[in-house]
């Protein structure tokens, strides 16, 4: 249950970055927001008070969730048949 927030934050970030037009800015925003959300996730769960090493777990969890969501949304958008 403790790793639910990082994954859900990643999914939310994946949805948010889809509104950025430039691919370069989308990538920068995805990385920056993943770092911030990973830090917040470690803080909320209290892991940050035990060790900074938990950032090495939470940041990639957020990033993978965001990247997977972004890829799925891009894939779905490219599959839509024009009417």
pTM of the model: 0.89
1 band by pLDDT with thresholds 50, 70 and 90 = low
Per-residue pLDDT, 78? 86
Number of neighbouring beta carbons within 10 Å of residue 50: 10
Is the per-residue pLDDT at 81 higher than 80?
Answer: no
Q: How do the domains of the chain map onto residue ranges?
A: 4-78
Per-residue pLDDT reduced to its tens digit, 44-63:
989 999 999 999 999 999 99
| CA distances, 81 to each of 18, 19, 67, 76 (Å) | 19, 21, 24, 10
DSSP summary character for residue 79 = H
Average pLDDT over all residues of the chain:
92
| CA distances, 60 to each of 21, 34, 65, 76, 82 (Å) | 24, 8, 8, 24, 36
């Amino acid at each position: 249950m403790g790793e639910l927030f990082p994954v859900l934050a990643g999914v939310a970030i994946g949805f948010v970055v889809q509104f950025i037009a430039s691919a370069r800015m989308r990538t920068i925003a995805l990385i920056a927001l993943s770092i911030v959300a990973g830090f917040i996730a470690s803080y909320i769960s209290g892991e940050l008070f035990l060790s900074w090493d938990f950032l090495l777990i939470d940041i990639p969890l957020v990033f993978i969730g965001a990247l997977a969501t972004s890829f799925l949304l891009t894939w779905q958008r490219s599959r839509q048949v024009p009417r």
